[in-house]
Structure 1
Amino acid sequence: MRHSLPLAPQFYVTAPQPCPYLEGRMERKLFTSLQGDSAEQLNNTLSKQGFRRSQNVLYRPSCADCAACLSARIDVSAFTPSKSQRRVIKRNSHFSRRATSPWATEEQYSLFRTYLDRRHADGGMADMDVFEFAAMVEETPVRSRVVEYQDESGLRAASLTDVLDDGVSMVYSFYDPELERNSLGTYLILDHIEIARQAGLPYVYLGYWVPGSPKMGYKCKFSGLELYHEGRWQKMRRASDYDATTHPLKSDPIAEQVANITLPDARAPGRRR
């Protein structure tokens, strides 16, 4: 099925498949390709409307009878670390950070493989080989970096991160599962808040928060969190305020969703990588 706007890009819908977050539900995604000279502008514009990047595709959940997935970002100016988050920062202060070009290495893949085998052995990426990993990292038409965290033992964590015009977007993160006490998943987000602050960028984009999914519960522990809900960014209320119940009227028809997407001004100059 294809739905298009008067101007490119064209939007497509995936076939329904089992939802990885909420048992008994089916997921469907609205997506468009990300390529050409306007790729960076499109990534900037659609990221502000709840889309996420995966290689050269931008996508957003568009399920037929559920609207539980909400795009989440942290307002850097409104963020204040909690006591436990300050302890996480202190516990990981020995790590050195290095931002590199999006180029996959054997060390990264080894850590990624260990992370998947221990934390997501039954997930959709569980069978990803080294070539698919390299494609995930390197096939990016926008400003991307691999942010690495090392100590005396070598690489311990990494994040594939996009640089947007209003923030940084954490596309995918992985870390050493042996260091459970270090709360590295939390630490990577905290350090990206600092990266954005130092760069003068207002937001850190985290992907989707799904109320009712234990996998996503950690995201609502950050102050300054905003959710893309009902067509606009809103400060997060109590987690219990967001109803994850399925209902056939929760999602607008695909054609209406596409018609409401704002596209970048084709006359605006693109940013160079």
Structure 2
Amino acid sequence: MGTDPQHDTEGLRLFDTGAHPCGYWPERTARDLVLDPRDPRLAQLYPLALSWGFRRSGDIVYRPHCGACHACVAVRVPVNDFAPNRSQRRCLRRNADVEMRVVATIRTDEQLALYQRYLAMRHPAGGMDGHGAAEYDQFLVGAWATGRFLEFRADGRLLAVAVTDRVENALSAVYTFYDPEETARSLGTLAVLQQIAWAKRERLRHLYLGYWIEGHRKMDYKRRFQPLEAFDGRQWRRMEPGEDA
């Protein structure tokens, strides 16, 4: 890696994880590029890494690097150009009773219980459904990230938590979990809409949404947030609208 006017990348090392089971397509194997997790500059390099199509999971900053498959596409919303579509406006109206609050990334028993219910329902036997407090802190909090928890409540009851990183000029949606019995509220969509609104209030440029995978039931929804930009490995380009746009 070379140098950048704002970020010193001199000597930055990348590691290839080697082949491992794909988390999105069970019949495939995957590989990742990982920034050196021992590099003391990770917090400073993280905003630049996001612009290169990387993502954070716990303290690991990674990007898919599969030889024959390029299904995972990093995407972000240019928040100043975003306007909710008809379906998203309905989602906002359905959740008019929901209150949002940004809090520090300090685990609470209430959050952990919601997280465990969400995993048990949404990812049964997927390797995460046994997560406890230690795994919660490792995966969602981390040691160096500048994250915040965006809590969603109705009548005081915790409905959802959107784990969000705040970096220069952007927010990054790390992970969202919610009450699995409140499907009618479309809390995942609500979380993205409120993260976009948060970024606008902070006068930030982008909300990073992680990876979009065309045709994947759990990932294709991201295309509905328009305009959407995709990273092609060299630069960010506008994508065409998807369903319901």
Query: With structure 2 as the length reference, what TM-score do the two structures score?
Result: 0.90
Specify the alignment match of 2:87 in structure 1: 84
- Following superposition, the deviation at residue 136 of structure 1 comes to 2.2
Tell me whether 1:94 sits opposite 2:97 in the alignment. yes
CA distance in 1, matches of 2:158, 2:25: 33
Number of the residue aligned with 1:44 = 47
1:16 is aligned to 2:35: no
1:160/1:34 CA distance change after superposition, 3 Å: farther
Counterpart selection for 1:207 from 206, 210, 221: 210
Q: 1:144 aligns with which of 124, 144, 147?
A: 147
Q: Which residue of 2 aligns with 1:156?
A: 159
2:5 aligned residue: none
Cα distance in 2 between the residues matched to 1:237 and 1:164: 27
Residue in 2 that maps onto 1:7: 10
**2:148 is aligned with what amino acid?**
R
CA contact (8 A) 1:22 1:212 kept: no
Change in 2 beyond 3 A, CA 1:104/1:66: same
Select which of 233, 238, 242 maps to 1:235.
Answer: 238
**Structure 1 spans left out of the alignment, 5+ residues:** 241-273
**CA-CA distance at 1:127 after TM superposition:** 2.4
| Counterpart mapping for 1:234-253 below 5 A | 234-237=237-240
| Bigger Rg over Cα | 1
Query: What code does the residue aligned with 1:180 have?
Result: T
Greater RCO between the two (CA within 8 Å, min separation 6)?
1
Q: Relative to structure 1, is the Cα distance of residues 101 and 15 closer, same or farther in structure 2, using a 3 angstrom cutoff?
A: same
Q: CA 1:127–1:9 in structure 2 vs 1: closer, same or farther (change >3 Å)?
A: farther
Matched residue type, 1:31: V
Question: What is the letter of the counterpart of residue 143 of structure 1?
Answer: T
CA contact (8 A) 1:34 1:42 kept: no
Amino acid at match of 2:116: R
Q: TM-score, normalised by structure 1?
A: 0.81
* CA distance in structure 1 between the aligned counterparts of 2:37 and 2:103, rounded to whole angstroms: 22
The corresponding residue for 1:261 is none
CA distance in 2, matches of 1:174, 1:161: 12
What's the RMSD between the two structures over aligned residues?
Answer: 2.0
Distance in 2 (alpha carbons) for counterparts of 1:97 and 1:219: 21
Q: Provide the secondary structure at the position in 2 that maps to 1:214.
A: coil
Structure 2 unpaired stretches of 5+: 3-8
1:121 maps to amino acid: P
Does the 8 Å CA contact 2:55/2:62 hold for their aligned counterparts? yes
**1:266 matched to which residue of 2?**
none
Quote the residue 1:192 is aligned against.
195
Identity percentage over the alignment?
Answer: 34
1:106 corresponds in structure 2 to: 109
CA positional deviation for 1:23? 4.5
* SS of equivalent residue, structure 1 residue 215: coil
Mapped to 1, the partners of 2:37 and 2:166 lie a distance apart of 15
Q: Amino acid of the residue matched to residue 200 of structure 1?
A: R
Give distance in 2, aligned partners of 1:198 and 1:56.
27
Helix, strand or coil at the partner of 2:148: strand
| Helix, strand or coil at the partner of 2:149 | strand
